[in-house]
Structure 1
Amino acid sequence: MKVSQRAMSNIENPRRGFLKFGFAGITAALSLSLFKHTFAKPPIKNDKAIVVHEEEGKHIIMGRSKALMTIKFSAADHGIESTSFCTEDIVPGRKMPVHKHLYNDEVIFIQSGAGILTLDEKTIDVKTGTVVFVPRGVWHGLENPGTENIRMVFQYTPAGFEEYFVENGTAVGEPMKTRTKEEYAATEKKYGMVYKVPR
C-alpha cells in the first residue's frame, strides 16, 4: 500500500499534522457552535413583570376530585419557563392523593386552614403559614380532616406541569369534561405524574 508523501510527513511529525488539520477541525466546530447559537430559535421568555389579582387567573374544576383550583400564571399563558403559580381549595374530608412529580420541584404554602401532609413515609401536621419544599421524586399528599377549607398556594419549577390540570380539568362555566382512565393515564405519563396508589 502506497502512502503519500504528505501523509508520511504527518505520521513522521504528528505535531505538524495536528497543527495543520486539528486547528481546522476545532475552527469548524466553533463555527458550527456559533451558527447554532446565533440562529437557533430562542427559548420562550417573558421579561415583563406580571400582576395577577385575587379574582384573576384560569379557574378550573378538577376532573376526579372536583376540587377548585386557579392557575395564576403559567408557561402557556405568560411565556414563563422558570416557574408557575397556582392555588387550590381542599374542602373538609377531601385529600390530595399521595403522588410524586418526575420533572418538577414544588413549593407548597398553606395560606389558610390546617391539615396532614404526607412526605415520603412521614406525616406532618401543617397549618396557616406552613411552607414546604418538595423536590421532584418525593412522595407527597395533603389531607383535610378538619372543618374548614385548606387554601393551598403552590408553584412548580420549571413551569409546565400546570397544563396537566388544564388537560384533565374543566374551565369554570363550561360543561364538565369527561375523560377515560386511559386518557388520565396518558396525561400522567406526559407530565411525569405518578400516584402511589394507581387511580
Structure 2
Amino acid sequence: MEAQTEAQGYVLGAAEGEHLVHYRNPGNIFIKVDPVRGSSKVACGTQQVPIGAGIPIHRHFDTDEAFYVLDGGGTFILNDVHHPFEKGATIFIPKNSWHGFANPDSELLLLWIVTPTGLDAFFRETCSPPGLPPKQLTREQVNQIARKYGTEYR
C-alpha cells in the first residue's frame, strides 16, 4: 500500500487562489481549497455573480454544498421554494436538491464549500484564466461536463 502524505495548511489572501473567469458571465471565481492544494474531501472558493446573471437551477448527486453570502442579495431557489437572502446569509444544500440563484438587483459575492470535491474541477473545465477568451460551450457541452462531476441542470 502506498503511503499517504499529510496535506499542509496554508493561508490565502482575498485575491489568491486559482483565478478563473466564468464561461457564461464575466464573474470571477477563486478556487481556494481543493485536491490540487491537498484537500481530498472538501473544496471551497469564492464566486462573483454579476447583476442579473444568477446561477441556473441544478443539482449535485453526491455533493453537499454550502454558501455564505459575502456581499449582495437576491432570491435563492431550493426545490422550487423561493427564499430571499442578503449579505451575511448562510445557505445549505443537501445532495440531490435542486437549487439556483436570482440576483436581478445586486452583484453577489459568494463563498462556496462542497464535499466531496468536484465543483472545482467543473469550473476548471468550463471557465478560463483571466486574459483568455471565454470558452464557447453549448448547453449540451456544459451538461456533459457537469455530468462528469455528478451535476445536472434542468
Per the normalisation by structure 2, the TM-score is: 0.90
What is the CA–CA distance in structure 1 between the aligned matches of 2:94 and 2:38, rounded to whole Å? 23
What is the CA–CA distance in structure 2 between the aligned matches of 1:100 and 1:161, rounded to whole Å? 11
What is the CA–CA distance in structure 2 between the aligned matches of 1:83 and 1:153, rounded to whole Å? 13
Identity %: 26
- Structure 1 or 2: more helix by fraction: 1
Match of 1:85 among 44, 55, 74: 44
The structural deviation recorded for 1:87 is 0.8
SS in 2 for 1:109: strand
Q: Are 1:186 and 2:148 matched, yes or no?
A: no
Asked if the contact 1:46/1:80 (under 8 Å) is kept, the reply is no
Per-residue deviation, residues 126-154 of structure 1 (Å, max 9, x unmatched): 011110111110011111121x3111111
What residue in structure 2 maps to residue 74 of structure 1? 34
Whichever residue aligns with residue 56 of structure 1, its letter is E
What is the CA–CA distance in structure 1 between the aligned matches of 2:3 and 2:72, rounded to whole Å? 42
For structure 1, which runs of at least 5 residues remain unmatched after alignment?
1-38
- Structure 1 or 2: more strand by fraction: 2
What residue in structure 2 maps to residue 111 of structure 1? 70
Larger radius of gyration: 1
- Summarize the alignment of residues 20-35 of structure 1 with structure 2, pairs less than 5 Å apart: none
What is the CA–CA distance in structure 2 between the aligned matches of 1:179 and 1:121, rounded to whole Å? 27
Which structure's relative contact order is higher, taking Cα pairs within 8 Å and 6+ residues apart?
2
Per-residue deviation, residues 51-100 of structure 1 (Å, max 9, x unmatched): 1111101111121234321111211x212112111111112222101110
Q: CA RMSD in A?
A: 1.7
For structure 2, which runs of at least 5 residues remain unmatched after alignment?
none
What is the CA–CA distance in structure 1 between the aligned matches of 2:108 and 2:87, rounded to whole Å? 9
Match of 1:169 among 108, 119, 127: 127
